[in-house]
A and B are shown apart, each in its own frame.
Chain A
């Protein structure tokens, strides 16, 4: 997927929208477009069916509340995507690959926490996950 396709998909079909671009100090630079030149970090919001992002993803996975993700490009040119709620991250050679890796990681994290709900800390974490993510399958 090219940058242009990604931008279109982001706004129209995948359920991902650009929130804002941030400079090195975290101040907003722009409210539109893809990466703004000089921006160190971009935030986007993930929402909707996750199988639209990762074809192999179980079709039941759905984000029921918008989850803000941080998109960074590291010194090697690799993209790192992470969130500030569960601290899950993904990486890839393109922004879209990194988002896909993030989505897979998020569903894996959900499964790990779900399997450990006897633990009171994980029970609380699972409740937090359920605010954002559901597996309807």
Chain B
């Protein structure tokens, strides 16, 4: 069974500490997470209902800077907030890059 939009949005906030970014008129909801010592991750939740398709899961995972398999682990409780922050911080980001 796939991931529902509302469950994704709920987990993003409750488990992964994303906060709602400023309001946009388009109907998109943007969420942000400032990774301690790292970049701010931003992701968009569109106005869909039902379940996220595989293609959409892939697009969201890339926005969250993780692979789709890791993203699924985030959503099914295998990967924690700490796991996520560690994963993102291990990426080759730098302010000058």
* A 66-91 contacts with B by CB, 8 A: 72-76, 78, 80, 82, 87-91
* B 26-69 contacts with A by CB, 8 A: 26, 28, 30, 32, 34, 38-40, 42, 44, 46, 48, 53-56, 59-60, 62-63, 65
A64 interfacial contact with B, CB 8 Å: no
Is there an interface contact between A89 and B60, defined as CB atoms closer than 8 Å? yes
User: Which residues in B have their C-beta under 8 angstroms from that of A74?
Assistant: 53-56
Contacts A74-B53, A74-B54, A75-B54 hold; do A89 and B22 have CB atoms under 8 A apart?
no
> Which residue from chain A places its CB closest to the CB of B59 in the assembled complex?
A89
A-B pairs with beta carbons under 8 A, tally: 75
User: Which residues in A have their C-beta under 8 angstroms from that of B93?
Assistant: 121
Bound form: Cα–Cα A80–B48 in Å? 13
A120 interfacial contact with B, CB 8 Å: yes
A61 interfacial contact with B, CB 8 Å: no
A119 interfacial contact with B, CB 8 Å: yes
1/0 per residue A114-126: CB within 8 Å of B? Answer: 0110011111110
Is there an interface contact between B53 and A76, defined as CB atoms closer than 8 Å? yes
Contacts A80-B59, A89-B59 hold; do A112 and B30 have CB atoms under 8 A apart?
yes
Which residues of A come within 8 Å of B, CB atoms? Answer: 72-76, 78, 80, 82, 87-91, 101, 104-105, 108-109, 112-113, 115-116, 119-125
Which residues of B come within 8 Å of A, CB atoms? Answer: 21-22, 24, 26, 28, 30, 32, 34, 38-40, 42, 44, 46, 48, 53-56, 59-60, 62-63, 65, 93-97
Q: List 17 A-B contacts (CB under 8 A).
A: A75-B55, A76-B53, A80-B55, A89-B44, A89-B59, A89-B60, A90-B46, A105-B44, A108-B30, A109-B44, A112-B21, A115-B22, A120-B95, A121-B93, A122-B40, A123-B95, A125-B39
